[in-house]
């Protein structure tokens, strides 16, 4: 019964998309197909269902090239090829984005997992989280430690992005800017990294 209800829910949502959202942006969708996409930013965020990039930024179709993974992690450039690296390369080399945003968030399960034993049987997840180990603190988990870990993941991500040659070259040419955000879900607030001081400041302050 539950599965049937889920299908009905999906169908109703698709109908609403066609009737409301697609109709509203139909000309934009057609233009994006005919002329190709030209997003102004690559948004690197967590797969968490509570993080909705287009809603957060009031973005319209074609505005954002979105890359989501567990933890909003940017792995180092060197090593095995991976989907995150492919998306970064495509965004910079093929789409020519002008901005890259690395956005972590409060109450991130991936960052909390760094302070617990690996999940049995989760080979891919456990291996992936090793890319975040650098952000972990040598302290017991607490709300404050987790918040600092989430924000440290932003800093690590920005530093690693500069290890991608195409990113570093575009930044050096003044064609690309990097931004670090920490989204506080329960407050609807985005804290922006001030690179000069290393402090996260309220974006709206």
- Is residue 25 domain-shared with residue 51, that is, in the same domain? no
Query: pLDDT (tens digit, 9 = 90+) per residue, 125-164?
Result: 999 999 999 999 999 999 999 999 999 999 999 999 999 9
- Is residue 6 domain-shared with residue 106, that is, in the same domain? no
- Is residue 92 domain-shared with residue 44, that is, in the same domain? yes
- Is residue 30 domain-shared with residue 97, that is, in the same domain? no
How far apart CA 62 and CA 44 sit, in angstroms, is: 16
Please state, for a pLDDT cut of 90, what percent of the chain lies above it.
Answer: 85
Question: Is residue 167 classed exposed, middle or buried when 0-12, 13-18 and 19+ CB atoms within 10 A define those classes?
Answer: buried
CATH number at residue 134: 3.40.1050.10
The pTM score is: 0.92
How far apart CA 100 and CA 66 sit, in angstroms, is: 10
- Is residue 196 domain-shared with residue 98, that is, in the same domain? yes
What the block records as the tokens of 135 is: 């952000």
- Residues ≥6 apart with Cβ < 8 Å to 56: 183, 190
Is 173 in contact with 185 (CB distance < 8 Å)?
no
Does the pLDDT value for residue 20 go beyond 90? no
How far apart CA 185 and CA 72 sit, in angstroms, is: 15
Please state, for a pLDDT cut of 70, what percent of the chain lies above it.
Answer: 97
Strand partners, 179: 101
Long-range contacts of 140-144 (CB under 8 A, 24+ apart): 140/115, 141/112, 141/115, 141/116
Q: Which residues form the domain of 3?
A: 1-35
- Is residue 75 domain-shared with residue 165, that is, in the same domain? yes
- Is residue 115 domain-shared with residue 54, that is, in the same domain? yes
Query: pLDDT (tens digit, 9 = 90+) per residue, 31-74?
Result: 999 999 999 999 999 999 999 999 999 999 999 999 999 999 99
Taking alpha carbons only, the member of 65, 52, 60 closest to residue 22 is 60
- Is residue 180 domain-shared with residue 94, that is, in the same domain? yes
pLDDT at 4: 60
How far apart CA 112 and CA 135 sit, in angstroms, is: 11
- Is residue 9 domain-shared with residue 86, that is, in the same domain? no
Does the pLDDT value for residue 116 go beyond 50? yes
pLDDT at 1: 43
- Is residue 64 domain-shared with residue 161, that is, in the same domain? yes
- Residues ≥6 apart with Cβ < 8 Å to 4: none
Average pLDDT of the residues of the chain: 94
- Is residue 87 domain-shared with residue 179, that is, in the same domain? yes
Number of domains the chain is built from: 2
- Is residue 6 domain-shared with residue 61, that is, in the same domain? no
């Amino acid at each position: 019964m539950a599965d049937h209800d889920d299908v009905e829910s999906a169908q109703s949502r698709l109908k609403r998309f066609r009737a409301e959202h697609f109709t509203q942006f139909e000309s934009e969708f057609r233009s994006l197909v005919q002329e190709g996409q030209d997003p102004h930013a690559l948004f690197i965020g967590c797969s968490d269902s509570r993080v909705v990039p287009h809603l957060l930024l009031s973005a319209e179709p074609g505005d954002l090239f979105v890359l989501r993974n567990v933890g909003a992690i940017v792995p180092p450039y060197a090593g095995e090829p991976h989907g995150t690296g492919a998306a970064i390369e495509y965004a910079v080399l093929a789409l020519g984005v002008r901005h890259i945003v690395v956005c972590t968030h409060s109450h991130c399960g991936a960052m909390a997992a760094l302070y617990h034993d690996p999940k049995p049987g989760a080979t891919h997840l456990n291996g992936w989280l090793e890319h975040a180990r650098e952000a972990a603190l040598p302290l017991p988990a607490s709300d404050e430690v987790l918040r600092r870990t989430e924000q440290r993941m932003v800093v690590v991500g920005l530093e690693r992005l500069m290890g991608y040659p195409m990113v570093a070259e575009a930044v050096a040419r003044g064609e690309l800017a990097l931004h670090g955000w920490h989204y506080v879900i329960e407050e609807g607030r985005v804290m922006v990294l001030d690179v000069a001081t290393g402090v996260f400041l309220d974006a709206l302050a």
